[in-house]
Amino acid sequence: MNENKVEDRSQLLIVDSADARLARAVLRWYQWDTRIGKWREAGRSAAALGRRGITANKREGDDCTPIGLFSMGEGFGTLPAPMPSRGLPYTVVDEHDYWVDDPESSDYNQWVRCESEPTQRWSSYERLAIEPYAYAAVIRYNEHPIVAGQGSAIFLHVWGGPDSSSAGCVTVPMEVVRELLQWMDPDCRTAIAIGTAQDLKHLVPWYRSESER
């Protein structure tokens, strides 16, 4: 299967940005309905993105959300896994869980357990046991291979409100993250497409953007 093809998947999240310079977007999620041979919308929500919008040339520390089609990874959070779920792997994080955003480290853009002093290992890192990650899921950006400096720690997680923004993640209300963690099914190879209407025409040809509705 091709990681960059929507056709190889049966669950899809679409982040529709009206303006690449802004943090506002709409998140819709779809399930492939084998009975009718079509994608069926399963839900929608307002979303907040990177404070500098979205970009196809993501760089570490640019405060932008990456444009593209990416696989969804495992769930995590400070709260117990929401039940029932479709089997999405989920880890309850604590004070020893970090995501490394130090481009000079061999651990760059990876989740690492560390029980020693983190500043002795990395010049930059993100603690995972924080309030915005009450519920979260990994967006598998900059993998296979990991390229130093091209961005790290891109997640779907709880927002700070409709007027908030992030350092590059996709953020939505807590109840939406919870619902998506229950909905996502590893067997469906769930993906997320992020972009403007023009980007989405290439990433998801059948999708009609907000501006076309």
Model confidence over 3-27: pLDDT tens digits? 566 877 999 999 999 999 999 999 9
Is 61 domain-assigned?
yes
**Domain contains 30:** yes
Contact 8, 14 (CB under 8 A): no
Domain span including residue 133: 6-212
pLDDT of residue 7: 74
pLDDT for position 3: 55
Count of domains forming the chain:
1
Q: State residue 201 phi and psi, 5-degree precision.
A: -60, -35
Q: Is 48 contained in some domain? A: yes
pLDDT of residue 1: 36
Domain assignment of residue 152, yes or no: yes
The pairing of strands 191-196 and 11-17 is: parallel
Domain assignment present for 1: no
Q: Identify the segments of the chain with pLDDT beneath 70.
A: 1-5, 213
